[in-house]
Amino acid sequence: MNLSFIDALIVYFVDPVLGLFIFILIAAIILSWLISFKIVNPYNPVVGSLWRMTSMLTEPVLRPIRSILPNLGGFDFSPLVVILLIQFIRGWLLPQIMTAF
């Protein structure tokens, strides 16, 4: 196999995965708001399993950023930072990789 084919395969695999992660991150944000404002019950089996799944997928990425960001009085801007970083990767870094070969 040609190296450029492998690079293209990585790029075409990474971009959809990053897009899916943004979707999961937004779902986790909305679910946390719904739980915080007591719109949904976290003890509901469906809501609880969704909450655990989204937390399990997003927390390993958000935790290091939370440790860097200052405490802003209960506001968590780490998802915004992650979304901006992913958009940077998708908008600048991946096209740079694509034009490299």
Q: Where are the domains of the chain?
A: 3-100
pLDDT of res. 8: 74
Residue 64, Cβ neighbours under 10 Å: how many?
Answer: 10
DSSP annotation string for 2-33? -HHHHHHHHHHHHHHHHHHHHHHHHHHHHHHH
Residue matched to tokens 């958000």: 62
pLDDT of res. 101: 60
Reduced to 3 states (helix: H, G, I; strand: E, B; else coil), residue 74 is coil
pLDDT score of 88 more than 90: yes
Q: Which residue has the higher pLDDT, 24 or 9?
A: 24
